[in-house]
Structure 1
């Protein structure tokens, strides 16, 4: 099997990582934390528990420098009580010193869990997020009733300038609870958002504003969360609603959610603002894994887990609905070489017809545009990546049903030893509807050894997933399902740095 580490995704040097924590910019660099477990047991992934916050920094959000664990698990509070492991939360830069730790102190509020009880604790940093001190009054949000609130987790904190107070979104089972505070230490419950559809146990909420179509007069709120779409033919992922936040409660525009990514491995998503973008767009990143099979994957190389590409997200009106579209941030262009290209070819069921350029390697990007022109009778374009003649992953677009697809049931070694349920979850074909049923489709396919992220027509549809190719599986082929299609262009670019 391939044991190469992804070259342009955040991964741990060793052991396990999961949820990313929302980054912030301070001291001339971006600070990202992720949940890390140094006690991960590769022989038995269900054993060896407890996560903590690991710190990495970057100036371009593409190349990251690793530092160390900054908030440790299983440490006692001031009364000698162990509040448990360190789980997901969020950090803010307290510009106006509302918490009393000093102007520009970094304040992290996060879930701690011990003996199955989830509570919120506060940690603060006065050195730009490189070290943290636990607040003497932890937990700042004790669980009011562990029996009634077994899920009481993942606080996401923002500053609401309209009401001049801090607002927290908290995952509470099948609802999102909203709380407010003037000082980040004392919190008051004000309302709850209950999805009108069954999405399982909710996690990792996110509340923010964006301008629809870049129009400042159409500024709207987005409420996103980790959810399970199993009742709707989906996997776990990031669901969201557009709507209104009035300082007290969130009112959704529609009962049904939309989804940020239709692939199987895009979860625990966080988004963050950049002052240079205003409300026209913001950034987002997710954890590339799925609890349906996370304990059954063939982890190798002494590490487990990775984050997605950093994406720039914006709200665009599609078919009359404000919809999140996502594209990789522009800085990724700097890590690829100039590439090799072909133009004006024909795609058939014979892979030699497309005349793709010769290529090799485990980390690259493919940009391709395919059309179904007058006289073309093909049904779908299939790009077989990381193939070795027997195994491989297939991505592509179905012109008949206007949907992109991602197929990995024969990607290599991932499902060889999986139990039935994880294997079914892993093997399931994932699809993403593409609006307006275009006759020309553009695919940007980012491959990084053991992951694939497909962006369709500038991000109106996205599919992200892990793969586990066999050693030496480096071929790429392009074919049609049936008939003929037109290959307008195909560019392959490898990683150059």
Structure 2
């Protein structure tokens, strides 16, 4: 069934009160030199190609992650090397270069696994890293398993032998024999290796020294599975307190994803509870997955999982390669738990908890009732959406992610009949994946990770997952809720954005790192002291995410202290100013952009049609701010038409708010009456009336559009006699959606000042972890500016933290 065809006949748009508009987060779409498809919070290869993950190992306080990498990739991968990265939290990775290079003489390293040989069983030294690697030895692809080892902490590996494999291909005629996984079998005091024979099953081998292996048994591929590769083998503690063995593998056939079998291991033979596979992920793009120990889990009740977001039926269909020169992304690292279910066990997976440490913004939209379609006004390419959906009786309920401006493309997650589905409207191919679901159920909890090139869906607390890659255009940013054949409530809708942890986090010229004092910066008040802080201050929660030996921290004396620290003047010479910021979320006061209280539309405003030469109208509408409003009833009543256009402005705040009433004639329909935010000729936001004379509040989140030049249009093309006009009042800039005149001037903010005016401003997020913020300042290049860090708040979170102010050609983060 093609659900897209079913959805095409959906009900017309359901009119509803305007949700707070939330802005575009497309990755650097305004910067042609930036990577358009680089994921924001998923691991991706720095360049060229990656495929299989290698099981990470923990050494000296960090996880060492290796993966297959092809520097010669040019649309097709041939030979691979092992590339190395390190992480402490499974989110931020540091590239460490090539650990096992391509070797055209001996053979190209393929997949394998690594262990830390703490007890020196192999004789390479206590704590050496020992790898068992499949090596492609030539055109016949007759792979053997070879031992490599490292004594420099995993930076480089050398082969133990180039003449005698540790596990020889059992042939003859066995075309593929590969992907070894090693696990320590404590009960039997031995190493165990699983090696895939993809067309038939998995072999088990045992060793005491990691160099000499003996065949023990064979686990045949069950019915319905045409091949198995990338096997896995591990023991973990279930929620009933028992330790259980699990075999896993990436498979082909009925499903091509990670299959697993709980069962019993006697030191020689694995006996599954049932030969019927269980599936960890039902998506089209979760492959070559590996599990590895969570070093913080002493009782082995949790384990990590890492998978490649791709599959071999469409490995080279990646816009990131054609546009940005790389292809290869991992799914978010997952935390696994094993749950007892009847007479067997089931794995539950959820995103690793450390992801929440990188949250930068959260919107809690509450419960949203939908009967048909409902656009949320959110635009983004990288975020998490959480909701619990409930219904009484309907045919189809869905969330349309990454919706294109014209509505023809999106990435849909939904429930239909007896399955959860993910519909990847991929420009290169049509793909849809299903996970089984109780047809009698009337509720489902969804947690959806959306990133530039991936979508991951976690169902009912991780009981099921679906992962698929995306090639949608970076301008496809919309979000719509949808039902067909009935109504649903999307409960507790929450959208969370995360810091950009990938790629473009380095570079540029550091303007001030605060490691050697304030260096010409001037201070007022007592909050900032005479020198930068060297970390967390007394009574403060732990401050993290800063660099070097010093940072701005206005918690000196607690939240009660106030003051400023201001840079020397400088000439803006780079298109971006980037810095680390944390602390309180106390923005500078909101400001009125247009109050429509004068005799004309306002300084710099222009008008056409019936509105040319006219001005605001005296009125007394409900929720009106002053004596007048902009009313398109002027000079002709409902028959009046034309446009009222603001002067161009640079977006410097997070929210643009206003009040609107009158006719319900939304853009882009012919005969619309609407307010529009226009950038480079494109309408980014629009709003219309609700068919009443009561002014209601509208808030557009434009935080990711900061730095762009825009203008407002009040458009009336309607000649309807049923409220064929709109009224607009009190247009304001602010950092919250509920901007009002007369807010307290108590900011904790970082400001960019040009000509004495604040042209960019940002606050913390009520968190002590510093995160990257970047200002697009290309429009100020050549002008003189200053950076001001201000703390005028004495309330809770009444302080600000800043570090590493950098001038760069790209956004950092």
TM-score normalised per structure 2: 0.55
Tell me, yes or no, if the aligned pair for 2:221 and 2:228 is still in contact at 8 Å.
no
Question: Cα distance 1:146–1:38, how it changes in 2: closer, same or farther (>3 A)?
Answer: farther
Equivalent residue for 2:97, pick from 56, 68, 80: 68
TM-superposed CA distance for 1:435, in Å, is 5.8
Tell me, yes or no, if the aligned pair for 1:179 and 1:190 is still in contact at 8 Å.
yes
Deviations 1:141-178 (A, max 9, x none): 35345433222101101111111111100101311101
d(CA) in 1 for partners of 2:336, 2:277: 17
Matched residue, 1:182: 208
TM-superposed CA distance for 1:321, in Å, is 3.9
d(CA) in 2 for partners of 1:95, 1:135: 18
TM-superposed CA distance for 1:320, in Å, is 5.4
1:55 aligns with 2:84: yes
TM-superposed CA distance for 1:347, in Å, is 1.4
d(CA) in 2 for partners of 1:222, 1:317: 13
d(CA) in 2 for partners of 1:26, 1:492: 36
1:201 aligns with 2:227: yes
TM-superposed CA distance for 1:52, in Å, is 0.9
Could you say what secondary structure the match of 1:166 adopts? strand
Name which of structure 1's ranges 290-299 and 277-286 shifts more when overlaid on structure 2. 290-299
d(CA) in 2 for partners of 1:68, 1:484: 53
1:246 aligns with 2:246: no
Equivalent residue for 1:20, pick from 45, 53, 70: 53
Question: Where do 1:95-494 residues align within 5 Å?
Answer: 95-115=118-138, 116-136=141-161, 138-141=163-166, 143-173=168-198, 174-213=200-239, 215-216=240-241, 218-230=242-254, 234=255, 236-277=256-297, 278-298=299-319, 299-300=321-322, 301-318=324-341, 321-352=344-375, 356=376, 358-372=377-391, 376-388=392-404, 389-398=407-416, 400-401=417-418, 403-408=419-424, 410-411=425-426, 413-415=427-429, 427-434=430-437, 438-494=441-497
Matched residue, 2:109: 86
TM-superposed CA distance for 1:309, in Å, is 0.7
TM-superposed CA distance for 1:111, in Å, is 0.2
Tell me, yes or no, if the aligned pair for 1:379 and 1:481 is still in contact at 8 Å.
yes
Tell me, yes or no, if the aligned pair for 1:224 and 1:239 is still in contact at 8 Å.
yes
Q: CA RMSD in A?
A: 1.8
d(CA) in 2 for partners of 1:368, 1:318: 26
Count of aligned positions: 459
Could you say what secondary structure the match of 1:186 adopts? coil
d(CA) in 2 for partners of 1:320, 1:177: 26
Question: Cα distance 1:136–1:90, how it changes in 2: closer, same or farther (>3 A)?
Answer: same
Could you say what secondary structure the match of 1:110 adopts? strand
Question: Cα distance 1:205–1:459, how it changes in 2: closer, same or farther (>3 A)?
Answer: same
Could you say what secondary structure the match of 2:176 adopts? coil
Could you say what secondary structure the match of 1:337 adopts? strand
Tell me, yes or no, if the aligned pair for 1:414 and 1:467 is still in contact at 8 Å.
no
Tell me, yes or no, if the aligned pair for 1:222 and 1:240 is still in contact at 8 Å.
yes
TM-score normalised per structure 1: 0.89
Question: Cα distance 1:8–1:340, how it changes in 2: closer, same or farther (>3 A)?
Answer: same
Tell me, yes or no, if the aligned pair for 1:55 and 1:130 is still in contact at 8 Å.
yes
Tell me, yes or no, if the aligned pair for 1:212 and 1:316 is still in contact at 8 Å.
yes
Could you say what secondary structure the match of 2:260 adopts? strand
Unaligned runs of 5+ in 2: 1-28, 30-34, 501-813
Tell me, yes or no, if the aligned pair for 2:452 and 2:474 is still in contact at 8 Å.
no
Deviations 1:30-85 (A, max 9, x none): 1000000001013xx2xx5100100000111100001101101115xxxxxx3311
Tell me, yes or no, if the aligned pair for 1:34 and 1:53 is still in contact at 8 Å.
yes
Tell me, yes or no, if the aligned pair for 2:147 and 2:166 is still in contact at 8 Å.
no
Could you say what secondary structure the match of 1:162 adopts? helix
Name which of structure 1's ranges 52-61 and 189-198 shifts more when overlaid on structure 2. 189-198
d(CA) in 1 for partners of 2:262, 2:439: 21
Deviations 1:111-166 (A, max 9, x none): 00122110111111112111212213554335345433222101101111111111
Deviations 1:218-277 (A, max 9, x none): 3211100111133xxx3x111111100110000011121111100011111100112422
Question: Cα distance 1:181–1:319, how it changes in 2: closer, same or farther (>3 A)?
Answer: closer
d(CA) in 2 for partners of 1:275, 1:145: 36
Unaligned runs of 5+ in 1: 76-81, 416-426
Larger Rg: 2
d(CA) in 1 for partners of 2:348, 2:292: 15
